[in-house]
Structure 1
Amino acid sequence: MITIEELNVYYKDFQALNICEKIEIKENDRIGLIGSNGAGKTTFVKACLGLIPYNGLITTNVKPEEMSVHMQQNNYVDTMATRHILETILKTKIKENVKLQELISFFEFEKQLSQKYKTLSGGQKQRFTLIMVLMQDAPITFFDEVTTGLDFETRQALIEKILAWYQGKNTSIIFISHYYEELEKLTNKLLILDKGEVIAFGERRQLFEKYCGQSVISFDQDALTKIDTKSFNHLKAQQGLCAISCKNLEEELSLIKMLSNANINYKRSNNDIELLTINALGVYHETTH
């Protein structure tokens, strides 16, 4: 659906994005776009949408105007009832549009139709915007920090709604999020950016095995005083944690036995995106500096 090759984006003399290896976004891909502020995430989306000039090649069978995007910030007339905003922007009447009625019901938004936009809660505003984005039924949709600023329960509810809506649909989706647990639910591929450079791109499972091993056992770093783990492969980990890579089941069971005998609590994972990202960044910086 989208193929990107040798892409460069400059803001005056500043290189905001530099993609050297080919990136392909295929039908039904669910891609998590990861990176800190200034990594190039928004620039990547804008380039795909044709909103900014770039050097290189973006080939797609989907026109930019046929793509859909959910931006982190949206501006509406906040003194107007949400019903009228929906009907004005979508150029349709709710009572005459079955699909719009379905989305309003799906997001449980019926009671908010008579409310002014400014009176909506954060979660209600996100549901409102999602209704308009999903109405486009685009072959490619970009979601930029859909749940930022929402409480945990509201975030979880929105993610479940998105998962349910796209179940069985042949739609490519690119999610920008700093919530790793959301990306674990929503994605099958990852694109990791750092300061405009591509750190890693590919299937989640393959990337995890490349940077973390078959599985990872993590536990409190303070527990290292109780056991000897010098023979194991230590990974970079979140602050306060020790993470050990296991290349096979035998090594994993040996480590678990040691931890259990020392009465140390641990966590096992083979899909921890945050840990994967930390180690992918670590390998990249070690090999380029």
Structure 2
Amino acid sequence: MVIINQVRVRYGNQLALSIDTPLSFKAGDRIGIIGSNGAGKSTFVKTILGLTNYQGSIATDLKPEEMAVHMQHNHYSNAMAVKHIMESILNTKIKKNEILQDLISFFDFEECLHKKYSALSGGQKQRLTIILVLVQDAPLVFFDEVTSGLDFETRQKLMSKLVEWYRNKTTTLCIVSHYYEELEQLVNNILILEKGQVVDFGDKDELFRKYCGKTVITVDNTPENEEITKNFLKLEAPGHLIALSCQNDQTEKDIAELLIRKDINFRRSNNNIEIMSINAKNKFNGGGKRD
């Protein structure tokens, strides 16, 4: 569907994006794009869409109108009812478009149609843009921070709706997000960017095993827990956690039995994208696992 090779994007003298190893997106892929602020995530999306100048090759059999995008910031008229905004942008009448009617119903958006855009809540504004994207039924869809700025409950509801809508569909999704738990629900591939460069790209389970092991057990980062777990291999982790790498079932059993005996709460995971990405970037930048 899309093959990206030897792509460079510059903003003046700054190299904003550098892709050396070819990246290939196939029909039906669900790709999570992650990285810290300034990593090049939005530049990457805009480059594939043809919205930035670049050097290199982006080969695709898709036409521009076969790509849809939800951008992080959108601007709509505050003077018009939402219904008229939708009909104006899509050049169709709601009552004549069954797919649009289905989406409005699916996202419980009926009550918003006669409101002005300024009267919508943050979650309702996001639902509006999502509907405008989904109604295009494009083979390739980008979501750029689709739940940014929303509270936890609203984010969960929106992501559940997206998961349900795209279930059993062959649409290729590229999702930029810093909410890792959302990506764990929806994606099967991860692209990690760091300072405009590709840290790694591949199946999320394979990347987890590559950088973390079979499973990871996490506990609160306290001096007591640090001492108790001192004999086990530790991974880089968010500051409030200690992450223990389990390369096999026996190691996992040993750690779990120790923590249970010491009455310490812990969490086991085999798909923690945040810890995986931290360790991938650490290795990329020349670091390694902790002692």
* TM-score bin (small chain): over 0.9
| Correspondence for 2:278 | 278
| Correspondence for 2:225 | 224
Contact 1:31–1:188, Cα closer than 8 Å, also in 2: yes
Paired residues for 1:137-152 under 5 Å: 137-152=137-152
Contact 2:35–2:41, Cα closer than 8 Å, also in 1: yes
Unaligned runs of 5+ in 1: none
Give the Cα–Cα distance (whole angstroms) in 1 for the partners of residues 242 and 108 of structure 2: 43
Contact 2:215–2:246, Cα closer than 8 Å, also in 1: yes
Q: Which amino acid aligns with 1:227?
A: I
Contact 1:48–1:64, Cα closer than 8 Å, also in 2: no
Question: What's the TM-score, normalizing by structure 1?
Answer: 0.97
How far 1:228 moved relative to its partner?
5.0
| Correspondence for 2:160 | 160
Contact 1:218–1:267, Cα closer than 8 Å, also in 2: yes
| Correspondence for 1:129 | 129
Residue by residue over 1:267-289, the C-alpha shift from the partner in whole angstroms, topping out at 9 and shown as x without a partner, is 1111001000110011111169x
How far 1:261 moved relative to its partner?
1.3
Count, aligned residues: 287
Contact 1:70–1:130, Cα closer than 8 Å, also in 2: yes
Paired residues for 1:135-284 under 5 Å: 135-222=135-222, 223-224=224-225, 227-230=228-231, 232-284=232-284
Give the Cα–Cα distance (whole angstroms) in 2 for the partners of residues 251 and 20 of structure 1: 37
Give the Cα–Cα distance (whole angstroms) in 1 for the partners of residues 160 and 225 of structure 2: 38
Residue by residue over 1:24-75, the C-alpha shift from the partner in whole angstroms, topping out at 9 and shown as x without a partner, is 1111110000011111111101110011111111010112232000011111
The DSSP-based 3-state class of the residue aligned with 2:286 is: helix
Unaligned runs of 5+ in 2: none
Residue by residue over 1:233-254, the C-alpha shift from the partner in whole angstroms, topping out at 9 and shown as x without a partner, is 1111111211111110011101
Give the Cα–Cα distance (whole angstroms) in 2 for the partners of residues 239 and 109 of structure 1: 40
How far 1:152 moved relative to its partner?
1.0
Give the Cα–Cα distance (whole angstroms) in 1 for the partners of residues 274 and 229 of structure 2: 26
State the identity %: 53
How far 1:186 moved relative to its partner?
1.1
The DSSP-based 3-state class of the residue aligned with 1:286 is: coil
How far 1:111 moved relative to its partner?
1.1
RMSD: 1.3
Give the Cα–Cα distance (whole angstroms) in 2 for the partners of residues 277 and 67 of structure 1: 28
- Between stretches 161-170 and 279-288, larger displacement belongs to 279-288
How far 1:176 moved relative to its partner?
0.5
How far 1:221 moved relative to its partner?
2.4
Q: Which amino acid aligns with 2:265?
A: N
How far 1:128 moved relative to its partner?
0.7
The DSSP-based 3-state class of the residue aligned with 2:285 is: helix
| Correspondence for 1:38 | 38
Question: What's the TM-score, normalizing by structure 2?
Answer: 0.96
| Correspondence for 2:87 | 87
Contact 1:5–1:23, Cα closer than 8 Å, also in 2: yes
Contact 2:226–2:242, Cα closer than 8 Å, also in 1: no
Give the Cα–Cα distance (whole angstroms) in 1 for the partners of residues 270 and 60 of structure 2: 33
Give the Cα–Cα distance (whole angstroms) in 1 for the partners of residues 157 and 216 of structure 2: 29
Q: Which amino acid aligns with 2:145?
A: E
How far 1:156 moved relative to its partner?
0.7
Contact 2:31–2:189, Cα closer than 8 Å, also in 1: yes
How far 1:126 moved relative to its partner?
0.6
Q: 1:225 to 1:83 in 2, by over 3 A?
A: closer
Contact 1:226–1:262, Cα closer than 8 Å, also in 2: no
How far 1:260 moved relative to its partner?
1.3
